[in-house]
Chains A and B, each alone.
Chain A
C-alpha cells in the first residue's frame, strides 16, 4: 500500500508539504488530478501518479498547465472533485482559463495549487501569485506547514463546493518542500458519480453570459468575504499593544522571533490563512486593538496594502510598517533573523543579530549536465559548426545548463517555449544565424504554436529539439513522446517528427548526438540548407541516461580512460566539459588529464573526438549496484 493511503493509526506521519496536499485531497475525495510538473510543485502529481490505480483516482501529466487546469475544471463541473497543481509561473500559462473559470465556477470542489518560489531556488522569477487570486476573484488559502497544507486542501474543497468556485491553495517552496508531522484523517470509500447538466447560458461564456456571471462573481466574493471574516484560519495569538499581521511560512518566523525576543506579553499576532477575499473587518478590529502594526510577509506587500486600505476606511491611524529597507525586504525568502531585525526596529526592542563568520572566495559548484548527457554532445556538435557568432535562444529544462562554460550555448531565455518564438524575432532583425534549443517536454508544452508561426511567417532559423524522451529536470515525468517505460520500449503516443512535419516544416533532420561524426555531417547539411530562408528542425534524439537506466535496467559495460599518448591539448576539457574529466596539476610529475571512472557513464562521445581516450571493459563485479 502506498504510504499516503494508509489508514489513521493515531501516529502522525512525517510528510512533505506536497505529500500532505495529496493526503488532504484523498481525504477530501478528489478523484481527478491533472498537472504539468514544475518545482516546487512536482511531488504532488508524482505521488498521485504512484497511487492512482490503488486509490481509484484519474491522474494525468498534462502537456501544460493551461490544459491541466481545463481538464480538472471539466471534472469539477461534472461533479467530480478535482485538483490541479503548478509552479507559480505555470499559472501564467493557465491564467486564461483561471480568470474565466472564476466566472463559470464548478459543481464539485476544485483546488488549484500555486507553488510559489521565493528566492528563485528553481525558477526564472519570484512573482507573488497572491495577486492572481485577487485579480481573478478566487478565494485563496495560504498554509504555513505541511499539517496546515493538508487541512487547507480539505477545507478548500468544501469552500469551493459551497461557493461553486475554484479555490487557490497558495504555497511556497518552504511549505511544499518542508517535512513535518501530519495527522491523518479517514479516507472516503464512496466514489462520487459524474454527471453533466446542460446549462449553456451559465456555462458558455459569450458576452451576455459573461456580464451576468461577472455580477454573480461579485456576489460570491461578498459571501466569501464573510466566510474569511469568520474563518478559523484567520486567528489572533498572544496579547499586547503591538500587532503583527502575517501569513504563510512568515508566521513561523514571527512566532520564533517573538519567543527569542521574549515579547510574548507584548505582541499580538494576526495570522491570515484565508487571505482572499481580505477579511477587512477583522483587519479593522485588529488595528483598533493595538498601537503599532508590522506586516510580515514574503515578496510583495499584498496584505500590507489591504490592511492600509482597511485602516483608511475605518479612520484608524496607528503606524503600519511592512516592506521597506529597514523592515521586511521585498526580494527573496525571509528567515527568523530578518524578521527579528524588523521586529526589533519597529517596536524598539533590543536585538543582537548573530555575528556571521566571513569566508574567502571559494571555487563554485554550479549544477552541471550529468556525465553522458546527450545534450552536451548536441551542444558540442552545433558549436563546432556554427561557432560562437550564432545567437542561441534556449528554453527551460536540464539543457538550460548549457549556459555554463565551456559550452556557452544559451543566449536568451524568458519562459517555457520562448526559444522558438524569440528565434523567429531574432531572425527577422539580425543577420547572423539563429539556433534555438528546446527539450521534448517543453516542445509539447509551449513550442508548437511558435513553430507553426515560424513556418507561416517564413522565419529563418534552426530549431534543435533536444529529445531525451522524458521531462528530466523535474524528476523524469512522462511526456507525449515518451518511448521508454518500465514495461519496455513503446511507440511514442505523439511523434515529435510527425508534429514538426505537421506544422509545415519541410527541412526536418534527425540525429543521434552520441554518434559524433554522423551528427556533424547532418549539421553540415543543415548549414548548407540554411543558405535558403526558412525553418529547419533538427531532432537530436538520445535518451536521458538516468531515465534509461531506471526504465530498462541497462548496465554500463565500459568506462573511458585517457591513454599516455594524451598531449594535454585540453580540447576535452575546454570544448566538451564533461564533469567526469579531471585536470591534475601534478607537482613533482607533470600535469595530466584523468577520467574519474566513478563518474564516467561510458557514453563514448569523448573517445570520438580524441584518439587518446580509450574504452576499458568494466569487471562484472563493479557493474553491480
Chain B
C-alpha cells in the first residue's frame, strides 16, 4: 500500500480555477463528523489559494437528526447548493445518500458510506429502512459515478470507528475531482486534528485514498 498522497493527487496545477467552480454537498447524521470533514476540505482549498466558502447548519439538527453542509470552491459565491447543482455528494450514510439525490444532476460524483445508521422511526418499527438495492439502484442510475465506501470497516482497520469521516475524505481526495494536492490534505490534517488521534486519522485517510485509486 502506498501512503504517499502526493503521488496520487497531483492534478491541481493545470486547472484554472478562475473559470471553474465545484460544489460539494455533505450529508450525514449528527455525530458522524461531517462538519469536521467539511472544514478540512475548506482549509485544504484555502491552502491551495483557492476561493472557498463553506456553509453549515448548527443547532437542533445535531440531536440525532440530519446534518447538512456544503463547500463551494472556485468562482462560486453562493454559500449554499440548490437542488440539481451538487458536483460532488459526500453522503456519510446510505439512507441520507438517497435523501440527498435531489441535490445531484447527471454529472454528479457520489461518495457514499455504506454503513447504515438506523433512524428512530425505523428502530421503533414505525417505518422500514430501504434495502441497499432500493437505495443505491436509483442513485447509480441517476448520476455519473457512485463510489460505495465501507468506511466503518476501513476506519476500524485504521484503528478507530470514529475515523469514518477521514476515510470518506481520503476517498474524495483519491478521486482527484478536487484541485487539491496531497500536501495540502496532509497539512490541514496535521494542523487541525489533535495529536493523539492524528496517526489513526491519517491512516484512515490513506485507506480511503487507496480505495478510490483502486476504483479509478
Residues of chain A whose beta carbon lies under 8 Å from any beta carbon of chain B: 12, 14, 16, 39-40, 42-43, 121-122, 145, 173-174, 177-181, 249, 252-253, 255-256, 259, 333, 335-338, 353-360, 362-370, 398, 401, 405-406, 473-475, 573-574, 577, 579, 581-583, 585
Q: Are A363 and B122 in contact (CB under 8 A)?
A: yes
Contact segment of B7-15, B53-61, B174-182, B203-211:
B53-61
* B29 contact set on A, CB distance < 8 A: 365
| Interface residues contributed by chain B, number (CB under 8 Å) | 57
Supply 14 further A-B pairs (C-beta < 8 A) apart from A256-B76, A357-B138, A364-B121: A12-B46, A39-B60, A177-B56, A178-B53, A178-B54, A178-B55, A179-B39, A181-B51, A253-B78, A337-B82, A360-B130, A360-B134, A365-B65, A369-B63
Report the Cα distance A39→B62, complex, angstroms: 12
Q: Are A473 and B60 in contact (CB under 8 A)?
A: yes
Given A40-B58, A177-B55, A368-B65, A359 and B102 contact (CB-CB distance below 8 Å): yes
Chain A contact residues, majority secondary structure: loop
B129 CB to nearest A CB, Å? 6
B163 CB to nearest A CB, Å? 13
Report the Cα distance A249→B128, complex, angstroms: 39
Report the Cα distance A573→B59, complex, angstroms: 26
Q: Are A364 and B63 in contact (CB under 8 A)?
A: no
By CB atoms of chain A within 10 A, which of B75, B85, B101, B122 has the most? Answer: B85
Q: Are B84 and A356 in contact (CB under 8 A)?
A: yes
* A249 contact set on B, CB distance < 8 A: 79
B49 CB to nearest A CB, Å? 10
* A362 contact set on B, CB distance < 8 A: 95, 98-99, 130
0/1 per residue, B81-125, Cβ < 8 Å to A? 111110000000001101101101100000000000011111111
Q: Are B63 and A474 in contact (CB under 8 A)?
A: no
Looking across the interface, which residue of chain A has its beta carbon closest to that of B196?
A625
Residues of chain B whose beta carbon lies under 8 Å from any beta carbon of chain A: 29-30, 39, 42-43, 46, 51-66, 75-85, 95-96, 98-99, 101-102, 104-105, 118-130, 134, 138, 142
* A179 contact set on B, CB distance < 8 A: 39, 42, 53-56
B11 CB to nearest A CB, Å? 23
21 inter-chain pairs at a CB distance below 8 angstroms, sorted by A residue, are: A14-B39, A14-B42, A40-B59, A43-B58, A121-B59, A122-B58, A174-B55, A174-B80, A178-B53, A180-B54, A249-B79, A252-B78, A256-B78, A336-B78, A356-B84, A359-B99, A362-B98, A364-B119, A369-B63, A473-B59, A579-B64
Choose from A180, A333, A336, A353 the contact partner of B53 (Cβ within 8 Å): A180
Looking across the interface, which residue of chain A has its beta carbon closest to that of B134?
A360
Given A355-B84, A363-B122, A363-B127, A14 and B60 contact (CB-CB distance below 8 Å): no
